[in-house]
Chain A
Amino acid sequence: MRKLFAIVLVCALIAGVGVGCKAKVGVVNLGGIFPMTGASATFGTSSKNGVDMAVEEFNTAGGAMVGGVKTTINYVNEDDTGLPEVGASAAQKLINQDKVIGIIGAVMSKVSLAVAPICQAAGVPEISPTSTNTKVTLVGDYIFRACFIDPFQGTVMANYVYNTLKLKTAAVLYDNGNDYNKGLAEYFKAGFEKLGGTVVDYEAFTDEAKTVDYKPQLTKIKAANPEFLYLPNYYGSVALILKQARGMGLNVPAGGGDGWDSPDLVKIGGAAVEGGIFSNHFSKDDKSPAVQQFVTKYTTKYGEAPDALAALAYDAAGLFLDAFKKSGSIKGSDIRDAMKNTSFVGIGGAYKFDENRDPIKAAVIIKIVNGQQTYLATVNP
């Protein structure tokens, strides 16, 4: 009896596999690697929502024609838990088991850096929505990203301050213990000076976890009398710096990068951060129709407004699927070539890749007005 049961079971399994294979005709897998659990789980949820939405729209619109066969996408999402080694095994699984045509992910640069070499070796295109570390796309020609790299924000802010705010002198105070802050500071300085402005004081501090007193630097900056204060740091130290600056009568406008993007900035900084401006990838208050349409659709589907991660993941998936459709092929190299020459228009504006497969795209400037983030402008590179 038991033997008979086993035989039936095996037959059923074989039949099942057969049916599965048949159903896969005209369907290909697309992989995604995001932190769905762990400390950055909210990043993963937003990103997956964005990709899900892009895939759904792609399938509803009819998918792609591959060799004359209408092909739709089946999205396979994997959890990297925020750890590089988990991300790497997820990539192995997606490539070897699910035979994905491409991978969207990961969120964090350290995970993307572990995933990228695997994709490169297998010839599977990977596009990270939000990994800003310069090294990620340098892994190889199959690796792309949908966000601008860190230093770009420094250039954007220099343009905005010099050309739009018409301020000619600036001071910089940055965390020299972190590549992100250093990159922004250096590119701001270079950009601002190239335009004809003067950086009157360029000060550093050692690691925001170690420093809470910025008055020695601020005393020096105040004496140099700048018209603008550039603080390319994370929100905690930005709030502290501005509190201390305002407290000692240094009341010039201040600005920074996407490290400012947290509700805690206003919670800690209070009135001191009022009027501050910062560059970011995306603002849900951007009045452009593409953004507003996305915000409405996303809010209806998920019951909450999208953040920058959702927007970038949506664009990353859209960009990949657009290239897949144009190439009309499931071969990695064909999709890669189509991505290289893309002219995709997403909610973050028009995307074009430079020779390092980093996108050339616009940034938004956000101002803090009455404690709220308010969309101010879109700045092109």
Chain B
Amino acid sequence: MGQFLQQLINGIQIGSIYALIALGYTMVYGIVRLINFAHADIFMFGAYMGFFLAPVMTKIFGGAFIPTIIAAMLITGLLGFVMEKLAYRPLRYKSRLSALITALGVSIFLENFCALPFVFGPAYRAFPDLIVAGNLPISASLGLTIPYVLLLDVGVSVFLMVLLFWFVNKTLIGKQMRAVAFDKPTASLMGINIDVVISTAFIVGPALAGAGGILYGTTYGMLGSPFLGIWPGLKAFIAAVLGGIGNIPGAVLGAYVMGISEAFATSVNSNLGYGIAFVILIGILLIRPSGLLGKFMPEKV
């Protein structure tokens, strides 16, 4: 029983990181129908920003976590904005395949550019400790503990999800986003500036990935290489599909399903852990092709 609950906690932790990346995938897809493959690399970029900014922030503000995550979100948001302007906007009315290939190109560029020795370099980096390490004991008899960092991961992901949900549903620009997602030409005829809306999506999505990067660094304490985004990015993309791509709560739900099934599958057989997680995914998609929440909210954002 204790082990079961501990694995559940492990899964929630893995899922929280996936959730923040999945939110960006789902949002950008909802509006421009583009799978932004470079999203995973923006996540990586955010993590590296945390690595470089945290010591500076500690010096200026004393505490590092909140200023670092805000600064990283601003920088990745800017990167997303520039990326859209340079790489995706010129192709907006071309075939969707060109945009997809461009996204792959941007992804490969970001990875390899950042791996250059004078940029981030390919070596391992120890991520600074932004919060106090330790565990919250839950039940001594079951040997159950919750790491502080897990509370932070879940707290930040849920907070940002709620914030995003509010942003999309309650603000004016959010309403414009939904209108563009629904019908681009008509929204344009109604006086909505599509460029502004799409730019906003490409700022908000990458900013969330940046936050995910900081949480990743804080949770694992190490940045492997500028290629570190590939796998979490792939898992998060699948999570977004699993939850129903374009659906915000769906992305978070999908991410937690992925994380938890990964933890349990690994604990059953660590050789097959990865595979079993994907089998579960295929199973769910066979039953619900539009994803877990895809059907209930046809209005895509």
Partner-B contacts on A (CB < 8 A) = 176, 203-206, 208-213, 215-217, 219-220, 222-223, 235-236, 239-240, 243, 247-249, 264, 267-268, 270
Contacts and interface: CB of A to CB of B under 8 A. Distances in A.
B123 interface: yes
A220 B13 contact: no
A209 B10 contact: no
Given A216-B266, A219-B10, A210 B231 contact: yes
B271 A204 contact: yes
Nearest to A205: B270
B271 A264 contact: no
B273 interface: yes
B123 A248 contact: no
A216 B267 contact: yes
Contacts of B216: 212
Nearest to B10: A215
B222 A268 contact: yes
A221 to B, nearest CB: 10
Contacts of B6: 219
B146 to A, nearest CB: 11
Given A216-B11, A216-B264, A223-B3, 9 more contacts: A206-B273, A206-B274, A208-B224, A209-B224, A210-B274, A215-B263, A219-B7, A219-B267, A249-B135
Given A216-B273, A247-B147, A240 B220 contact: yes
Interface string B133-153: 101000000010101000000
B72 to A, nearest CB: 18
B124 interface: yes
A236 B222 CA distance: 8
B269 to A, nearest CB: 9
What DSSP secondary structure best describes chain B's contact surface? helix
B84 to A, nearest CB: 29
A213 B220 contact: yes
Contacts of A248: 135, 145, 147
Contact of B145 (A208, A249, A264, A268): A249
A243 B149 CA distance: 13
B224 A219 contact: no
B131 to A, nearest CB: 13
A151 B70 CA distance: 48
B266 A247 contact: no
Contacts of A213: 10, 13-14, 220
Nearest to A237: B224
Nearest to B266: A216
Number of contact residues on B: which range applies?
35 or more
14 contacts: A205-B270, A206-B273, A209-B231, A210-B231, A212-B216, A212-B232, A216-B263, A216-B273, A240-B221, A243-B222, A248-B135, A249-B135, A268-B124, A268-B221
What DSSP secondary structure best describes chain A's contact surface? helix
Nearest to A262: B124
Contacts of B123: 264
Contacts of B111: none
B262 interface: yes
Interface string B1-26: 01100110011011000000000000
B227 interface: yes
Given A216-B270, A219-B3, A220-B3, A209 B227 contact: yes
A270 to B, nearest CB: 7
Given A204-B270, A217-B270, A264 B263 contact: no
B203 to A, nearest CB: 27
A220 B267 CA distance: 7
A176 B267 contact: no
Interface in B82-139: 123-126, 133, 135
Given A247-B135, A264-B123, A268-B222, A216 B274 contact: no
A264 B121 CA distance: 14
A240 B270 contact: no
Interface in B228-272: 228, 230-232, 262-264, 266-267, 270-271
B133 A247 contact: yes
A49 B135 CA distance: 50
B147 to A, nearest CB: 6
A267 B126 contact: yes
